[in-house]
Amino acid sequence: MATGSFPAAPDTVNVSPTRTRLRHAYTQAARRPNLTGMASLLACVPEEELVRRAKMLDEAALSSIFDAYYPRVYNYSLLQLRDAQAAEDLASDVILRVLESITRYHPRGVPLSAWVFRIARNRLIDVRRRHARRREVGLVDDAIALAGPPHAAVERALNYRAISAALSHLTEVQEQVIVLRFMKDLDVATVARILGRSQSAVKSLQFRALASLRRMLDSNSHRETIASGANGSAVAVS
């Protein structure tokens, strides 16, 4: 999927005036050619003020939420589903749900990002119940083009493609912890809220998942070194 290219808002029946305004804001945001170059209210006003304006159906505020979270939800969905079209559909549905239900969001210590990703996770669970998971590692390039490189600490230590392939060998909850912590750059408290687990449980899951990833990636690196040496020997003999 090309950067800045987003699907249309899902079709609905008996659309209310409020939903019509939300769909209009969604469509206007989706049609903009260059998200990265757009000034966003999210960078200019506190999150509470942005949410207040969004609840009043301020188009600039709704568009700013779209700009900030559609790429992140798409990337998150792609890493989980390994299917670009399914990720587009899920991200489109999630962001429209976020905009439609923004009036029901009350922080109470829960950041907007945690609320958005909780909706995304619930929708992802629904999708997985209906469809078998498909691992199309090559499509991760779309996520890189859209949302930028992963967390710097992970990028320095591990290859993005290798991580994506290795994630498929983790348990589902371990995979979500790694994606949310290091690729979505969310703190432990926020991840705990999204997953409905304690912070200590998230830390434990993260520790075990990273240990498993290191073992798998070290094993892959060892095999590649042996293969490279074998190829070098073959060239030398010839």
pLDDT computed for residue 15 by the predictor: 42
pLDDT computed for residue 223 by the predictor: 59
pLDDT computed for residue 42 by the predictor: 61
- The CATH number for 149-238, chosen from 3.90.1150.10, 3.10.110.10, 1.10.260.40, 1.10.10.10, is 1.10.10.10
pLDDT computed for residue 59 by the predictor: 83
Pick 195 or 138 by higher pLDDT: 195
- Within the chain, all domains assigned CATH 1.10.10.10 are found at 149-238
The CATH number of 1-148 is: 1.10.1740.10
pLDDT band at 94 (very low <50, low <70, confident <90, very high): very high
pTM summary value: 0.56
pLDDT computed for residue 137 by the predictor: 40
- Within the chain, all domains assigned CATH 1.10.1740.10 are found at 1-148
pLDDT computed for residue 236 by the predictor: 42
Pick 222 or 119 by higher pLDDT: 119
Q: Tens of pLDDT along 144-183?
A: 344 444 455 444 444 556 667 778 788 888 888 988 888 7
Q: Per-residue pLDDT for 119 more than 90? A: yes
Query: If DSSP states are collapsed to H, E and C, what string results for the chain?
Result: CCCCCCCCCCCCCCCCHHHHHHHHHHHHHHHCCCHHHCCCHHHCCCHHHHHHHHHCCCHHHHHHHHHHHHHHHHHHHHHHHCCHHHHHHHHHHHHHHHHHCHHHCCCCCCCHHHHHHHHHHHHHHHHHHHCCCCCCHHHHHHHHHHHCCCCHHHHHHCCHHHHHHHHCCCCHHHHHHHHHHHHCCCCHHHHHHHHCCCHHHHHHHHHHHHHHHHHHHHHHHHHHHHHHHHHHHHHHHC
Q: Per-residue pLDDT for 237 more than 90? A: no
pLDDT computed for residue 178 by the predictor: 87
Least confident residue range of 16-30, 106-120, 159-173, 213-227: 16-30
pLDDT computed for residue 19 by the predictor: 58
Pick 8 or 169 by higher pLDDT: 169
pLDDT band at 116 (very low <50, low <70, confident <90, very high): very high
Least confident residue range of 40-44, 72-76, 118-122, 166-170: 40-44
